[in-house]
Amino acid sequence: MSKKISSKEFKSRLATMCAQGGGRGLPRNLRDQQILFKSITLTLDPDKSYTETELNLALGQWQTEVGQMIEIDHVSLRRYLVDAGFVQRDSAGLTYHVSTVDSLDIFEPDVETLDPAAVIIEAQLDRERRKQDYLKKQNTD
């Protein structure tokens, strides 16, 4: 069994995939998929049952705030979340909720405290700082 995903790895990989253009659609690497799916469930209320429309709106918000660089529609995202066990659908297919099974011992407990949107903002600010530092260095050489 592979090592659990730490908050450090989670933030690093999420930033690469979603803020630095690390990929277009759903990542091929299972670990990256799990990080992406977890980032979505972290933006959902674990105590709420979502209608399909509400879940679609929440996925759209995630795409705007976190997954800007991931080219995938909300319908596919919803399907992947259910198929991977991160979101469960009721037997009638009318409501969805965050699965308690998604923690299948994949993530370190501190991952639960992360704010994916803040991770992306931090990565974007860091990238901009490095860019400015590089430009300053170029101007002094």
Q: Which residues of the chain have pLDDT under 70?
A: 1, 21-23, 101-104, 141
What is the 3-state secondary structure of 35-60? HHHHHHHCCCCCCCCEEHHHHHHHHH
What pLDDT sits at residue 141? 67
pLDDT, residue 6, reads 95
Helical packing angle, 116-140 and 52-65, nearest 10°: 20
Start-end of H helices in 19-115: 30-41, 52-65, 74-83
For 3, residues 6+ apart whose C-beta sits below 8 A from its C-beta are none
Q: Which domains does the chain have, with CATH numbers?
A: 7-140 (1.10.10)
